[in-house]
Amino acid sequence: MTTEAATIGLTHGGSEDTGLGHRGPESKSIVVPYGFWLFVLSDMVLFSALFASYGTLVQATDGGPTTHQLFHRDLVAVETIALLLSSFVCGLAMIAAKRANMVWTQAWLIMTGLLGAVFLGIELYEFASMIGEGAGPQRSAFLSSFFTLVGCHGAHVTAGLLWLGTMMAQIWAKGFQQHIVRRLLCFSIFWHALDIIWVGIFTIVYLIGTL
Amino acid sequence: MTEDENNLLDVAPGSPHDNIVSEVAAYVIGLGLALLMTGVSFWVASTSVLWGPGVAVGLVVLAIAQIGIHLVFFLHVTSGPDNTNNVLALAFGALIVFLVMIGTIWIMAHMNANVGMAPEMMNLQMQR
């Protein structure tokens, strides 16, 4: 029991096992989150390519609107706070889930989802008003790369919200079984990773773009 | 709570004992530091007190610091022996990320500056 469910964090629960194979394969509760961690890192590599193309094309405005004219820092600040709090609350949900507390887990997960929805709503509002001003992705290479980078992050958040709803339903229907909690842990890794990518976006795209 | 149940819990960074207080505290500290970094980032970007050309570099440094905070306090990536595999994977990921980003921007800036073509082709700013 202790080794099988030793931990639902990324750590090995403080054991002296180095994970170098002395005791054979690790338990699923270690291997699955590790594999998901590798996926998240490869997702970061995907985003690094989008950041690189954005950095290359940010000046290529073709006489159209520039970063200074398009971006509003106050909106971005609200987005940033919403996503950061969402990430934090997701961590609280994991703490509740470890203790198999249904009410608090669901409550924190709803908070996570609502804050994520606030973030997504503001982002969609920003996109809609930009496209309304004629600054859509087809306007210039800069705007193409902007919508690809930020839109890809927004698509990840959308997928995360769908995943979140699925997890809430599964926890509700099946309880805190090991494989369900494992999926929830993978979701929390995904959600924290999205916030990490957003740190790069609000710094490089919005803050440096409006210096 | 029995001994067995205690073993089910995650280890909060910097605390060998597993309890809900230290675990929540880790997230709260992480949130506080991340909020601080975010606030400083927005302040640095809008103030005119600082030396202008250094601001962008400072913002990148702040972003990297905040990413570190997220990794440690939210994702529990630590330097402990039980985290070796996670850290190695992260190091490789970070290497690729930096190679792709710095490499692309560096090379494309040089191409933009050095490759002589017809004037309308030369400047990336002119391309749609």
Give yes or no for a contact between A208 and B56, defined as CB atoms under 8 angstroms apart. Answer: yes
CB of A194 closer than 8 Å to CB of A153? yes
Under an 8 A CB cutoff, do B105 and A2 touch?
Answer: no
Q: Which residues from chain A sit within 8 angstroms of residue B32, using beta carbons?
A: none
Please tell me which of the candidates B55, B74, B126 has its beta carbon nearest to residue A87.
B74
- Collapsing DSSP to helix, strand or coil, B99 comes out as helix
What does the alpha-carbon distance between residue B104 and residue B109 come to, in Å, rounded to a whole number? 8
Do A108 and A93 contact (CB within 8 A), yes or no?
Answer: yes
Mutate to test the interface with A, among B27, B38, B55, B74 (most CBs of A within 10 A): B74
Q: Print pLDDT tens along chain A (211 aa).
A: 344 444 444 444 555 555 565 666 777 888 888 899 999 999 999 999 999 999 999 988 888 899 999 999 999 999 999 999 999 999 999 999 988 999 999 999 999 999 999 999 999 999 999 999 999 999 999 999 999 999 999 999 999 999 999 999 999 999 999 899 999 999 999 999 999 999 999 999 999 998 8
State whether B46 and A73 contact (CB < 8 Å): yes
Q: Which residues contact B97 (CB under 8 A, 6 or more apart)?
A: A44, A45, A48
Token pair in block for residue A191 = 């959600």
Q: Cβ contact (<8 Å) for B10 and A6?
A: no
Distance of alpha carbon B91 from alpha carbon A164, whole angstroms: 28
pLDDT in tens, B96-124: 999 999 999 999 888 888 876 655 555 55
CB contacts of A15 in chain B (<8 Å) are: 82
> Which residues of chain A lie closer than 8 angstroms to B25, CB-CB?
none
Can you spell out the DSSP letters for A67-116?
Answer: HHHH--HHHHHHHHHHHHHHHHHHHHHHHHHHTT-HHHHHHHHHHHHHHH
Please give the model's pTM, rounded to 2 decimal places: 0.84
Complex confidence, ipTM = 0.83
Would the CB atoms of A10 and B38 count as touching at under 8 Å?
A: no
CB contact under 8 A, B124 and A56: yes
Tell me if chain A has a CB within 8 Å of the CB of B77. yes
Q: Which of B84, B100, B125 sits opposite A60 (nearest CB)?
A: B125
pLDDT digits (tens, 9 = 90+) for A4-13: 444 444 444 5
Q: Compute the distance between CA of residue A153 and CA of residue A3 in angstroms, rounded to an integer.
A: 36
Each domain of chain A, given as residue ranges in start order, spans: 40-51+66-210
Domain A40-51+66-210, CATH:
1.20.120.80
